[in-house]
Structure 1
Amino acid sequence: MDERLITHLRHVDLAVPDFDKQLDFYTSTWGLSPETTDDGIAFLAAEGSPEQYSVRLRRAPEKRLDLIAFGAASPADVDALAARLGTAGVRLVTEPGSLRTPGGGYGFRFFDNDGRTVEVSSDVAVRAHRRVEEGESIPVKLSHVVINAPNPEATVAFYEKHLHFALSDTLASPHMGSVMWFLRTNRYHHSLAVARGPHVSLHHASFEMRGIDEYMRGTGRLLRAGVEKVWGPGRHMAGNNTFSYFLDPHGNTVEYTTELEELDEDTWHPHLYDLSEPEVADQWGTANPMSEFVAKQSFNDPDRGVFVAPPV
């Protein structure tokens, strides 16, 4: 029963008080397409992705991370994972069943050790998507999600033990010890990462661009639009991916990236990278230095939704 049943990252769902401002940012500025919208809820797709949506926005009195959704290969795998988690004492939010979100499918939800809601699903209808063209500075797909945890060692252990994520690399600093763990569920370096933070919250959500040119064009487009840049542009050591971090209207950090490393899982050995070496944070040396300001922006506000399942 120790095989990996999660195949990939599907979407990240956010609740926000100023729904209209957030919706305008993610569509007009960030470059997602409003695939399905209703009063107070919107499902936003990345043009190059077969996923029905990459971001869901929901109007709510308080800002929170509603859920992180992952895919599985079949209903049998969904059932097996739900049974495995239930037997291990993990609290299920819903039992496996038909999903009522765009694309349907079969899935269930549970709370992780920090109280985040996580969904796993299979058989979601494939969205009619397209190849993003040369020069188009819009996201191809959701690349990865990074979460803050006050006890990150326990959170990493949860995802390794129960969901069989594998550790790709770890970042450490001389005075803080280990501060970020990169976890994979397929050949990509990470689809989830856990950062040491003062409270449970979203650290950032990252979106893959077509290539370096499109990534730089997107970075410049946001700068010209006056969107607050947190960090970048640069290229990380762990994952070897490019990065430009910005703040959405509600203070969530969102990233444009490209060229996230693909690993040979049979031969890969995790590195422990020292963040006091400048090239670890940014191989290029083009980004503003990692500072307390940069770190604090990514701490985000304490998530008020822990161990409270979203209504939809």
Structure 2
Amino acid sequence: MSGNLNAFGITHLRHVDLAVPDYQTQRSFYTDLWGLTEVGTDGDLSYLAAEGSPEQYVIRLRRAGEKRLDLISFGATDPAAVDALAAKLASEGVQLVSQPDKLQTAGGGYGFRFFDIDGRVIEISADVETRQHREVEEGESIPVRISHAVMNSNDPTRTKDFYEKYLGFMLSDTLWGEHMGEMMHFMRCNDWHHSLAIARGPHTSVHHVSFELRGLDEYMRGTGRVMRAGIKKVWGPGRHNAGNNTFTYFLDPSGNTMEYTTELERLTTDEWHPSVYDIADPMTQDVWGTADPMSELIARESFNDPDRGVFVAPPV
């Protein structure tokens, strides 16, 4: 398994934090419909957990005048790894947003924040308290955990190189198109096929955030529940080739794409060789053939609005 362990002690994706103007609408979307549990609020913050996950929360909503990505948080093995990575990044010219310190958000812990090459705020943390979670039951169509986050970049290869060089992420696979070149890089920090992916988009923004369901039946039930509620379905249900995971994409009330997935591949070999998949092959996008063919129209739905938070630290 050593080839799948992160060189700098990054362990997993913890949470994605979003600022939203339609705060109450979003809270009810994520709790009543998407299947997350609000575990607490703090002023203009709402902390949303996945029932099957020990993470304190997987989505944080912040009431704000404009929509933005506040940050993406990854776990680290221990405070020593946090300190070492912060020192390394600073010495290599990466702009830190905060120095390693006690975290003031739910679950506490010890961490720091920095800007990635596109201006996203990334948090690395250790010693965050876990929460009482439970086994999601058969037929229960709610997220077990956060699966991965995909971000748009107008230079996805430059962004991929940043995560490889500075954060030790490893490339799992790439999607490629004849006219557009490299379209998406899937990157891992553990044995899951990807915890992060970088998509080609016209600007820096959230492409989608994905949630793992218990199994195929639960994934289809969840997909159906959200469809019946009249939420705009962008694409799916289907099964991707790269990562082998199922997918259904929906737009949340503020236009961020959210995905239900299951059965994401786990890479158990050190000798994994990344593949390049041609997006012109219908089997690349959907091996089942149940989703509409990928089109410019579908792709555009996940471009999202240009992120207002680029190189701007969130207030909390």
Q: Normalising by the residue count of structure 2, what TM-score does the alignment of the two structures yield? A: 0.97
Name the amino acid aligned to 2:291. A
Q: Which residue of 2 aligns with 1:22?
A: 26
Percent of pairs identical after alignment? Answer: 67
2:241 is aligned with 1:264:
no
Could you list the per-position Cα deviations for residues 87-145 of structure 1 after superposition, in whole angstroms to 9, with x for gaps in the alignment?
10000000000011111100000000010000000000111000000000000000000
Matched, 1:306 2:315: no
- Whether 2:197 is the aligned partner of 1:176: answer no
Task: Supply the distance in 1 between the matched residues of 2:268 and 2:260 (Cα, whole angstroms).
Answer: 24
Provide the C-alpha distance between the structure 1 equivalents of 2:314 and 2:46, rounded to a whole number of angstroms. Answer: 15
Measured against aligned partners, the alpha-carbon deviations of 1:236-295 in whole angstroms (never above 9, x if no partner) come to 000000000000000000000000000024111000001100011000000011111110
Describe how 1:223-234 pairs up with structure 2 within 5 A.
Answer: 223-234=227-238
Residue of structure 1 in register with 2:126 after alignment:
122
Q: Which runs of 5+ in 2 are unaligned?
A: 1-5
3-state DSSP class of the match of 1:244? strand
CA distance in 1, matches of 2:221, 2:264: 18
Contact 2:176-2:184 at 8 Å conserved across structures: yes
> Aligned-pair RMSD on alpha carbons?
0.8
* Equivalent residue, structure 2, for 1:155: 159
Is the Cα–Cα contact under 8 Å of residues 157 and 182 in structure 2 kept in the other structure?
A: no
2:240 pairs with 1:246: no
**What is the match of residue 112 of structure 1?**
116
1:90 aligns with 94
Pairing 1:185–2:189 present:
yes
Consecutive unaligned residues of structure 1, counting only runs of 5 or more, are none
8 Å Cα contact 1:187-1:263 kept in structure 2: yes
Structure-1-length-normalised TM-score: 0.99
Matched, 1:212 2:212: no
CA distance in 1, matches of 2:192, 2:262: 12
Q: Which amino acid aligns with 2:56?
A: Q
- Shift in Å, 1:181: 0.3
CA distance in 2 between counterparts of 1:182 and 1:4 reads 19
Q: CA offsets, 1:31-63, max 9 Å, x none?
A: 000001133210000000000000000000100
One-letter code aligned to 2:257: T
Contact 1:235-1:242 within 8 A present in 2 as well = yes
Q: Residues 136 and 144 of structure 2 are in contact (CA less than 8 Å); yes or no, is this contact kept in structure 1?
A: yes
Task: Please state whether the residue corresponding to 1:269 is helix, strand or coil.
Answer: coil
Task: Count the aligned residue pairs.
Answer: 311
User: Is the 8 Å Cα contact of residues 182 and 189 (structure 1) preserved in structure 2?
Assistant: yes
Contact 1:227–1:246 (Cα < 8 Å) also in 2: yes
**1:4/1:165 contact within 8 Å kept:** no
Q: Tell me the SS of whatever aligns to 2:172.
A: strand
Asked if 2 retains the 8 angstrom alpha-carbon contact of 1:149 and 1:195, the reply is yes
Counterpart-to-counterpart distance in 2, 1:39 and 1:249: 21
Contact 1:4 / 1:185 at 8 angstroms: preserved in 2? no
* Contact 1:32–1:47, Cα closer than 8 Å, also in 2: yes
Give the structure 1 partner of residue 137 of structure 2.
133
> Does structure 2 conserve the Cα–Cα contact (< 8 Å) formed by 1:5 and 1:163?
no
Identify the match of residue 100 of structure 1 among 100, 104, 111. Answer: 104
- AA paired with 1:131? E
CA–CA distance in structure 1, aligned partners of residues 254 and 263 of structure 2? 28
Distance 1:272 1:289 in 2: 19
Contact 1:48 1:141 in 2 (8 A): yes
Give 3-state SS (helix, strand or coil) of 2:283's partner.
helix
